[in-house]
Amino acid sequence: MESTRNRLIELLETKNDEFVSGQELSNELRKSRTAIWKHMKELEKDGYIIDAVPRKGYRIREFPKKLSSNTIQWGLHTKWLGSKIIHKKSVPSTQNIAHQLAQEGAQHGTVIIADEQTAGRGRLERKWHSMSEQGIWMSLLLRPKIPPIQAPQLTLLAATVLADILLKKVNVKAYIKWPNDIILNDKKIAGILTEMQAEQDQIQYIVLGIGINVNQSHHEFPEELKSIATSLKIETNKTHNIRDLIQSILTTFEQTYDHYLQNGFHDIKMKWESFGYKLGETVNITTPNHTWNTTILGIESDGGLLIKNPDGKTEKIYSAEIYNEGNTR
């Protein structure tokens, strides 16, 4: 049924605001005109405004402004990612829901999306400010057949997907700040949180969280974030369609993930380094025990950051904070 509605929406979209007769839709979809009418009523329940005129047919006058499982799934061209989409108005954290579903046996590719998170979190349990209907707050449930040691590669993969989408769909060049932040004009616009349940040699599941600031205005950020966070609306001076961005992310993620499983990490590494934040530049590295200036060289296949210290020695690190040189904020 969902594939029928996907095709129905596609047929109406391609007509560019022209009417499509019920008979034409019936012929294309091989459904009765009564069935077509019932599908139209279901679309209206999800916020589509549809004109139905006798002897003319149907046209979509307005697309839904609010998200739902159906509006995200209809028009989503993926094979397995998002085959099950769970949409919530407000939750503490999509990560928590994804963990619960995973433990209950939810399928690979399940996607949890919320309009708002009241206790969203990022790396190191930092709070993620998730405003209602102003951003993308979602978690992907994955069951990859890779050894646990390779799990950090999925964070790096997801980062390349987000940077690629922002470049191709929004026309802004964002950078990937190791290990999991997306930076635009030296401010954070998106983050990734990868959490894993695994045995010694086998991953049971991975929950990959994605948060993107989309339509917030500057004044809507808390005071403590105004100097370090931004949104697509702030950077482009226009409002963006969150549904379209979600669908683009899911489609590109699936393609990239499948390519990675078939071909390995090399292409992901190359793309990551094409977006690498401060790559080749001197930055400030801070760990719990030490702070020093160093040069970022790139990433390794195990997810580690490759740096060159002032003494000329190359080092690989797995946990640290990166700041501009001389800035330890």
Express the helix, strand and coil content of the chain in percent, nearest 5 each: 35, 30, 35
Q: Give yes or no for a contact between 304 and 318, defined as CB atoms under 8 angstroms apart.
A: yes
Rounded CA separation 274/9 (Å): 37
Q: Are 294 and 285 in contact (CB under 8 A)?
A: yes
Look up residue 85 and give its amino acid. I
Residue 4 identity: T
The verdict on whether residue 202 carries a ligand-binding annotation is no
Residue 170: closest CA among 218, 250, 242, 221: 242
Maximum Cα interatomic distance, the chain, rounded to a whole number of Å: 80
How far apart (Å, rounded) are the C-alpha atoms in residues 173 and 117?
27
Find out whether 22 is annotated in a ligand binding site. no
On whether 188 is known to bind a ligand per the annotation, the reply is yes
- Is the Cβ–Cβ distance between 87 and 113 less than 8 Å? yes
Q: What's the one-letter identity of residue 17?
A: D
Q: Is 38 marked within a binding site?
A: no
- Minimal CA–CA distance to 174: which of 208, 138, 212, 209? 212
Query: Binding residue per annotation — 30?
Result: no
Helices (H), the chain: 2-14, 22-29, 33-45, 69-73, 94-103, 152-169, 232-236, 242-263, 266-274
Q: Which among 95, 165, 90 has a CA at the least distance from the CA of 133? A: 90
Which uninterrupted H or E stretch holds 136?
A: strand 135-142
3-class SS at 105?
coil
Omega of the bond prior to 179 within 30 degrees of 0, cis?
A: yes
- Which positions make up the binding site? 117, 121-123, 188
- Which positions make up the binding site for biotin? 117, 121-123, 188
